[in-house]
Amino acid sequence: MNAAKHESANPARTAGRLRTILRMVLSFFITAALLFLIIRLFPGLGYIQGISTALLVILLLAAVQALLWPLLLRAVLALTYKISPAIMFISMPVLSVLLSAVFIETSNQLSADFQVYSFGAALLIALLLTVAQLVLSAVFAYDDEGIILRRTLRRIGAKAISKDDIGKPGIIFLEIDGLGEKVLRKAMAMGKMPTLKRWLDSGSHKLVGWDSDLSSQTMAAQAGILHGNNYGVVAFRWYVKGKNKVIDAAALKDVAQLEKQLSDGNGLMSHGGVTRASLFSGDASSVLITGSRVFEETSADLRSYYLNPSSFLRTLALLVWDWILEKRAAWGQALRKEEPRVKRGGVYFLIRSVVAVWLRDFSVFTLRGDLYAGVPYAYATLAGYDEVAHHSGIMRPDALEILRKLDREFRKLEMTAADAPRKYKFVVLSDHGQTQGATFRQRYGETLEEVVSRLLREGGNTLSVAVYRTKHEGVYHIDAAFKDYHISETAAGSQVYDTILQSGRENMEKDAAVDVVVAASGNFGMVYFPAFEQRASMEELEAKYPGLLSGLVEHPGIGFIVTRSKLRGPVALGKKGKLYLSTGEVEGQDILSDYAPLTLQQLARGDSFPDTPDVMVMSTYWKDADEAAAFEELVGSHGGAGGEQSRPFILYPSEFDIGTDKIAGAEAVYKILKGWTDKVRNS
């Protein structure tokens, strides 16, 4: 069957075209009505005879655009490769409004029933029309790309794909950062994710949960999923003795260096795959806003995003709308006295909107281009839910709203796939979940570092304690985006960049000489003593810092600690028992009974890492309430053990062989997904 026959025989493609035509007709009539209302409400701008005249003017505008816009697109395609992306952010929407004004001025000369009194009036009409259309597109969700733009993307894509690859399979991996299996099932049952529920109910897809590593966070998870190797990744951040250095996922130079250490060149996206908005690249041939490779000149070109001049204006409108939604959600929690909750002031609203809206729009748009270009496989991280759930809660209305909007984007990608040259399948997965609960500081009035300082003082030691944590995890996405597109090199961009990053990080000075280093990753705490060149033993710590270990164990907010005994090796200490990690021997009660079944194995593996802390600290997990106490000021947290944070998921096509329903760790996920991409590559 040739491509033309396949195209005409595809029901999804035919339905998509009919839907696009209907939306174009609807947009045509709405735009005419808006033009009529604007001039009638502001008679100083011009004169219009009636609604029929408005329809005629919009028809003339559409005809002019249809004739000139393809020529403009070619010119823009040639120019955008020479223009800074930062300048494109401003120039394309301005150009869009100016062109609309010129078209309106042209119509002014063609009809006596329509008069615009000046070019300034035409410019104002164009601006008001643009704003009104953006509002309507957001309300009625008729924001699919236009036919001309789609054909342009298809034309660009046709140059990228080999004729031999047309009709071959392809895979799109969509990672919903921070979404646990249980929350996903609840969201589908509540009608928040109808596209994924349809896939599951129809039998086209299956859903399986898997057990995350310890630490249950993006750096470890994506290193394992995308590179098949996360050995030595202690947490989201950790301290390196001897170098007096903190490795941090929010510091992109650290991420870049770590990928070089972990990668063997055979990552999940190697041999032609692409990565979008992720922390690691998976050895992709092309990357976009990918933390580990923002310092290379290998990023995908997003300038085609501006070929539709309304793209940026639409994204900007959605950014502003998200600011309103965030403030409404925060004030609503305060008025209802909803607990647990955390402060959401400062520039958090900006961080949230950039991660949840801007990066989502860029990633999905680029994925559409990838589909038209026939890439064999792609991996995109969608981090909006993780960022919002951290501050709102894992099942709160605004977190569920993020999932609803993501599901709508998945539907658009599904429609695009029906029009693509390859036969794409979608895999939706998460890297970890989140566990909700009041924070450690909220419960006990002190932070983990303050507890450590207090216990040291009570034991007769006055030592300086440095703490390392990130207030807003999403800053690394923003850092990657600003570096990738040179936005931080402009004066205004630099100011915004510095403001966001400074507000998102805390105590990031890595070279200060201190006596004790405390790092936090959700409800997983790490305590280092730089005075010991190697990992300090339990016996050494008890001798030098009396009362520290016992004080940590007895704290009601600490479930257990892990240290290393000279005689028995690594040991987990709880209030009512001990657990020797090497043998599994229990003294007293099993202190891990309320945690996930694989916690013992995960702790034993983590204990073998070169940079394992002198003392690992895990907050209490209250199983009956399904709550943990984060050492960071986050309502929903992850990074340690206990609850939904340890149970991410994979939603995969039913015909794919997953081999088992018991998947332990991100490296095991890599082996499964790599088998699928290898089949695509060898097809």
Q: What is the pLDDT of residues 431-474, one digit of tens each?
A: 999 999 999 999 999 999 999 999 999 999 888 888 876 655 55
More confident site: 124 or 203: 203
Token output for 93:
């929407």
Determine the pLDDT at residue 134.
Answer: 67
Determine the pLDDT at residue 544.
Answer: 95
Distant-in-sequence, close-in-space partners of 384: CB < 8 Å, separation ≥ 6: 177, 352, 355, 356, 357, 359, 360, 402, 405, 406
Query: Torsion angle, CA of 83/89/91/92, rounded to 10 degrees?
Result: 100
For the stretch 39-53, pLDDT in tens is: 888 888 888 888 888
For the stretch 253-280, pLDDT in tens is: 888 999 999 999 999 999 999 999 899 9
Distant-in-sequence, close-in-space partners of 15: CB < 8 Å, separation ≥ 6: none
Read off the pLDDT of each residue in 60-78 and give the average, rounded to a whole number. Answer: 67
Residues belonging to the chain = 683
Inform me whether the pLDDT recorded for 110 exceeds 60.
Answer: yes
How far apart CA 39 and CA 43 sit, in angstroms, is 5
Among 345, 288, 364, 349, which Cα is nearest to 319's? 349
> What would you measure as the largest C-alpha separation in the chain, in angstroms?
97
More confident site: 462 or 480: 462
Query: Torsion angle, CA of 528/529/532/538, rounded to 10 degrees?
Result: -70
Distant-in-sequence, close-in-space partners of 110: CB < 8 Å, separation ≥ 6: 60
The beta strand positions in 16-81, using DSSP E, are: 46-48
Question: What does the domain layout of the chain look like in residue ranges?
Answer: 3-140, 172-205+214-437+661-682, 443-464+514-634
Number of H helices, E strands in the chain: 23, 24
Inform me whether the pLDDT recorded for 242 exceeds 70.
Answer: yes
pLDDT classification of 224: cutoffs 50, 70, 90: very high
String of b and e for 628-664 (b: at least 16 CB within 10 Å)? bbbbbbbbbbbbbbbbbbbbbbbbbbeebebeeeebb
Pairing of strands 274-276, 286-288: parallel
Among 361, 367, 398, 401, which Cα is nearest to 481's? 361
Which amino acid would we find at residue 435? T
- CATH classification code of 172-205+214-437+661-682: 3.40.720
How far apart CA 462 and CA 451 sit, in angstroms, is 13
Determine the pLDDT at residue 504.
Answer: 43
Among 413, 408, 418, 412, which Cα is nearest to 12's? 418
User: Could you give the 3-state DSSP secondary structure of residue 488?
Assistant: helix
Query: Torsion angle, CA of 645/646/652/654, rounded to 10 degrees?
Result: -130
* Beta-ladder partners of 173: 379, 427
Determine the pLDDT at residue 679.
Answer: 94
Read off the pLDDT of each residue in 18-22 and give the average, rounded to a whole number. Answer: 66
In angstroms, the first-to-last Cα distance of the chain is 18
For every residue of 618-653, which 3-state class applies, written as one string?
EECEECCCCEECCCCCCCEECCCCCHHHHCCEEEEE
Q: How confident is the prediction for the chain on average, in pLDDT?
A: 84
Least confident residue range of 14-28, 313-327, 427-441: 14-28
Counting Cα atoms < 13 Å in the Cβ hemisphere of 149 gives 18
Could you tell me how far CA 492 lies from the centroid of its own chain?
24
The percentage of residues in the chain with a pLDDT greater than 70, rounded to a whole number, is 78
More confident site: 416 or 11: 416
Token output for 217:
């966070």
CATH topology of domain 443-464+514-634: Gyrase A; domain 2 (3.30.1360)
Read off the pLDDT of each residue in 596-619 and give the average, rounded to a whole number. Answer: 95
How far apart CA 352 and CA 373 sit, in angstroms, is 31
